[in-house]
Structure 1
Amino acid sequence: MASSKNVFLGIDAGTQSLKLLAYDGDSKQILHVCAAPLELISDEDGTREQLAEWWLDALRQCMSELPADIKSRVRGIGVSGQQHGFVPLNQQGEVIAPVKLWCDTSTIAECEEITARFGGAERCIDAVGNPILPGYTAPKVVWLKNNKPEVYAELAHIVLPHDYLNFHLTGEIFTEHGDASGTGYLNILRQEYDREMLSAMDPERDLLPLLPPFVEANATTPLSAEAAQAYGLPSDVMVSSGGGDNMMAAFGTGSVAPGVLTMSLGTSGTLFAYSGKPAIDPQGDLAAFCSSSGGWLPLLCTMNCTVATEITRNALGKSIPECEELLAQSQAGAGGVTSLPFYNGERVPNLPHAEASLHGVTASNATPANLYRAAMEGATFTLRRGLDAFARAGQEFTAIRLTGGGAKSPHWRQMVADVFNLPVEVPAQQEGAAFGAALQALWACSDDNTSSVQLSEHIALDENLGCQPQADSASAYQTHYQNYLELLSQQYPSVQ
Structure 2
Amino acid sequence: MSLVVGLDVGTQSVKLVAYDSVAHEVLATHSHALELVAQDDGSREQEARWWIDAIRACFAKLDPALRARVVALGVSGQQHGFVPVDAAGQVLAPAKLWCDTSTQAECDEIMDAVGGPLRAVALAGNPILAGYTASKLPWTRKHRPEVYRQLASIMLPHDYVNFWLTGERWMEYGDASGTGWLDVRTRQWSPELLAATDAQRDLAACLPPLVEADASFPISDVIADELGLPHGVRVSAGGGDNMMAAIGTGNVASGVLSMSLGTSGTLFAHADHPVVDDNGSWAAFCSSTGGWLPLICTMNCTVATENVARAFGFESRDGDTVLAGTTPGADGLVMLPFFNGERTPDLPHARASLHGMDTANLNRANLYRAAMEGATYALRHGYDALCAAGLHFDAIRLTGGGSHSAAWRQMVADVFELPVDVPTQAEGAAFGAALQALWALDHAAGGQADIAALATEHVHLDPALSTRPDPAATAAYRSHYGHFSRHLEAAVASHASGNVTNDG
TM-based fold match above 0.5: yes
1:358 equivalenced with 2:354 (yes/no): yes
2:231 matches 1:231:
no
Q: Which residue of the partner structure matches residue 501 of structure 2?
A: none
1:238-273 Cα shifts (integer Å, max 9, x gaps): 110000111111111001111110001111111111
1:220-299 to structure 2, matched below 5 A, reads 220-299=216-295
Hey, what does 1:217 align to over in structure 2?
Answer: 213
Alignment of structure 1 residues 117-132 onto 2, 5 Å: 117-132=113-128
Equivalent residues of 1:114, 1:201 under 8 A apart: yes
Corresponding letter in the other structure for 1:238:
R
- The equivalences for 1:320-335 within 5 A come to 320=316, 322-335=318-331
Local SS of the residue matching 2:465: coil
Residues 267, 304 of structure 1: 8 Å contact kept: yes
One-letter identity of the residue aligned with 2:423: P
**2:487 aligns to what?**
487
The alpha-carbon distance between structure 1 residues 320 and 61, as it changes in their structure 2 partners (threshold 3 A), is: closer
Question: Is 1:149 matched with 2:145?
Answer: yes
How many angstroms apart in 2 are the aligned matches of 1:354 and 1:490?
12
Q: Distance in 2 between matches of 1:49 and 1:97?
A: 10
- 1:283 deviates by 3.1
Q: 1:466-485 alignment to 2 at 5 Å?
A: 466-485=466-485
Following superposition of structure 1 onto structure 2, how do residues 97-496 of structure 1 map, counting pairs within 5 Å? 97-320=93-316, 322-446=318-442, 448-449=447-448, 451-455=450-454, 456-493=456-493
Q: Judge conservation of contact 1:136–1:182 (CA < 8 Å) in 2.
A: yes
Once the two structures are TM-superposed, the CA of residue 176 in structure 1 deviates from its matched residue by: 0.5
Supply the distance in 2 between the matched residues of 1:445 and 1:258 (Cα, whole angstroms). Answer: 25
Q: 8 Å contact 1:281–1:389 — kept in the other structure?
A: no
1:422-470 per-residue CA deviation (whole Å, 9 max, x = no partner) reads 0000101101211111111011112534521112110110101111111
Counterpart of 1:466 in structure 2: which amino acid?
A: S
Aligned AA (1:341): P
Letter in 1 for 2:403: A
Tell me which amino acid in the other structure corresponds to 1:231: L
Q: Which stretch shows the higher mean deviation, 421-430 or 363-372?
A: 363-372
Instruction: Measure, in 2, the Cα distance between the counterparts of 1:36 and 1:319.
Output: 19
Question: Match of 2:450, as an amino acid?
Answer: S
- Aligned equivalents of 1:449, 1:7: Cα separation in 2: 19
RMSD: 1.3
2:442, 2:449 within 8 Å by CA — same for their partners in 1?
Answer: no
CA shift for structure 1 position 190:
0.5
Instruction: Give the secondary-structure state (helix, strand or coil) at the position aligned to 2:73.
Output: strand
* Contact map agreement 1:86 1:100 (CA 8 A) in 2: yes
How far apart in 1 are the matches of 2:13 and 2:372? 24
Q: The residue matched to 2:171 in structure 1 has which SS?
A: coil
Distance 1:102 1:319, change over 3 A: closer
Q: What SS is found at the alignment partner of 1:205?
A: coil
Q: Distance in 1 between matches of 2:267 and 2:202?
A: 35
Query: In structure 1, what is the Cα distance between the partners aligned to 2:85 and 2:495?
Result: 38
Q: Find the counterpart in structure 1 of residue 499 from structure 2.
A: none
Which is further off, 377-386 or 275-284?
Answer: 275-284
Q: Aligned AA for 1:454?
A: A
Which SS does the other structure have where 2:71 is aligned?
Answer: strand
Deviation of 1:364 after TM superposition, in Å, equals 1.8
How far apart are the structure 2 equivalents of 1:474 and 1:126?
38
Displacement of 1:280 in angstroms is 1.5
2:463 is matched by which residue type in structure 1?
Answer: E
Name the aligned partner's letter for residue 493 of structure 2: P
Deviation at 1:382, TM superposition (A): 0.3
Q: What is the CA–CA distance in structure 2 between the aligned matches of 1:273 and 1:330, rounded to whole Å?
A: 32
Distance in structure 2 (CA, Å) of the matches to 1:189 and 1:286: 15
Is the contact between residue 49 and residue 99 of structure 1 (CA under 8 Å) also seen in structure 2? Answer: yes
Distance apart, 1:158 and its partner CA? 0.5
Could you tell me which amino acid in structure 2 is paired with residue 310 of structure 1? E
Call closer, same or farther: CA 1:324–1:369 in 2, change over 3 Å: same
* Residue 42 (structure 2) aligns with: 46
Asked whether the equivalents of residues 282 and 392 of structure 1 are also in contact (C-alpha less than 8 Å), the reply is no
Q: Which moved more, 1:410-419 or 1:308-317?
A: 308-317
Deviation at residue 35 of structure 1 after TM alignment: 1.2
* Runs of at least 5 residues in structure 1 that lack an aligned partner in the other structure: none
Indicate if the aligned counterparts of 2:101 and 2:348 stay in contact, CA closer than 8 A. yes
Greater alpha carbon shift after TM alignment, 361-370 vs 100-109: 361-370
C-alpha contact 2:306 2:315 (8 A) present in aligned 1: no
Q: Percent identity?
A: 55
Q: Which amino acid aligns with 1:473?
A: A
Q: 1:159 to 1:407 in 2, by over 3 A?
A: same
SS of the aligned residue for 2:211 comes to coil
Please identify, of 171-180 and 118-127, the stretch whose mean Cα deviation from structure 2 is larger: 118-127
CA distance in 1: counterparts of 2:57 and 2:285, whole angstroms: 32
Where 1:492 maps in the other structure, the secondary structure is helix
Alpha-carbon distance in 1 for matches of 2:336, 2:279 = 21
Deviates more, 1:48-57 or 1:321-330: 321-330
Contact 2:75 2:158 in 1 (8 A): yes
